[in-house]
Structure 1
Amino acid sequence: MRTLLNIIWLVFAGLALAVAYVVAGILLLIPIVTIPFAIASFRIAGYALWPFGRTVVDRPTAGVGSAVGNVLWVLLAGWWLALGHVVTSIPLFLSIIGIPLGWANLKLIPVSLLPLGKVVVPSDAYYPTYRH
């Protein structure tokens, strides 16, 4: 079922969202100081491309730097990407088969706003705390 949902997701939302994250990552590579943001953007692009069967968990070793970085991220790229999730979720909600995809799209908004200090892991296993 996950594979089917991922294929439908890829066609109707995933490819466009992944491209948006990759473009944001490339733009964030230009200034040297925003390279960590670009890496986070590329990581989320992979998750946005194929989200079912994976989840995002907090990395407990993330510190104040991640919090400060997340504030900068929201200003630089996060709110644009979150808006992209909202816009692409609306047409998904218009069909019955698209409703779970629309909800999945809305669940990606928190990680699109605050990606630093998070890690993408398989959802098959329970991860109370992720040790990196």
Structure 2
Amino acid sequence: MGCVGNALWFLFGGLIMGLSWVLAGVLWCITIVGIPIGTQCFKFASLAFFPFGKEVVYGGGVGSLLLNILWMIFSGILLAVEAALIGCLFCITIIGIPFGMQCFKLAKLALMPFGASVR
């Protein structure tokens, strides 16, 4: 299911969500201070392109909390709202529920990307 799910995901929503993460990363990389945040965006863009078969593990400390607050103010809320709305659209049908669940996983990640790792 992982390979087929990723292929279908990329065609029906993953391309848009992945490009959103890439755009956020490019905008953060314009400034020198934002380069670490931009590189984190690029890491999670690959997850947004192909999320099936991958798990997000959350952790971190005070530094992650401060970066998450800064991220949420400037980029996180927009990406989370986008993922949640697309997830709700997918969950309208029974067939789309697995895709909607991936969207909700990305919405949570969009709110708290620092301190998270993908396995």
TM-score under structure 2 length normalisation: 0.93
Match of 1:126 in 2: none
Match of 1:11 in 2: 11
Query: Which amino acid is the alignment partner of residue 58 of structure 2?
Result: D
Match of 1:104 in 2: 102
1:86 aligned to 2:84? Answer: yes
Match of 1:116 in 2: 114
Match of 2:40 in 1: 40
State the Cα RMSD in Å.
1.2
Match of 2:65 in 1: 67
Deviates further, 47-56 or 100-109: 100-109
Rounded to whole Å, the distance in 1 between the matches of 2:11 and 2:20 is 15
Give the number of equivalent residue pairs. Answer: 119
Q: Which structure's relative contact order is higher, taking Cα pairs within 8 Å and 6+ residues apart? A: 1
- Consecutive unaligned residues in structure 2, runs of 5 or more: none
Rounded to whole Å, the distance in 1 between the matches of 2:7 and 2:89 is 17
Query: Which amino acid is the alignment partner of residue 97 of structure 1?
Result: I
Rounded to whole Å, the distance in 2 between the matches of 1:88 and 1:58 is 23
Deviates further, 76-85 or 50-59: 50-59
In the TM superposition, what is the alpha-carbon distance from 1:87 to its structure 2 partner?
2.0
In the TM superposition, what is the alpha-carbon distance from 1:26 to its structure 2 partner?
0.2
Quote the sequence identity (%). 38
Q: Computing the radius of gyration over CA atoms, which structure comes out larger, 1 or 2?
A: 1
Query: Which amino acid is the alignment partner of residue 91 of structure 1?
Result: L
- Consecutive unaligned residues in structure 1, runs of 5 or more: 122-132
Moved over 6 A (4+): none
SS in 2 for 1:57: strand
Query: Which amino acid is the alignment partner of residue 85 of structure 2?
Result: V
TM-score under structure 1 length normalisation: 0.84
**Larger helix percent:** 2
